[in-house]
Amino acid sequence: MVNNGEKPIAPDLTRLVGDVDRLTCIKCCKTYNPDNRDISTKNPNVYYKQCYECRLKQMMYHREYRNRSLCR
């Protein structure tokens, strides 16, 4: 879902694309510079809350979990 101005963006949300230089991952607490792969696909005017490595690790875990449940 894209925010087309229907809902105001919270002022404490400091993840707006183009407004931030450094972000902190909420999972691993690592500070990083955001790039294009950190832009949300649901709402392209904000960055994801987790870094790319944490999102990749979570995706691989869920993929393995689904494969284990399908093999039963």
Q: What is the pTM of this model?
A: 0.72
Predicted confidence at residue 58, as pLDDT, reads 96
Predicted confidence at residue 68, as pLDDT, reads 86
Predicted confidence at residue 56, as pLDDT, reads 96
* Rounded distance between C-alpha atoms, residue 67 and residue 44, angstroms: 30
Which neighbouring-strand residues pair with 70?
none
CA distances in angstroms from 68 to 1, 39, 54, 55, 59, listed in the order given = 31, 30, 21, 20, 14
User: pLDDT, tens digit, for every residue of 14-72?
Assistant: 788 888 889 999 999 999 999 999 999 988 888 999 999 999 999 999 999 998 877 76
**DSSP code string of 33-45:** ---GGGB-SSSTT
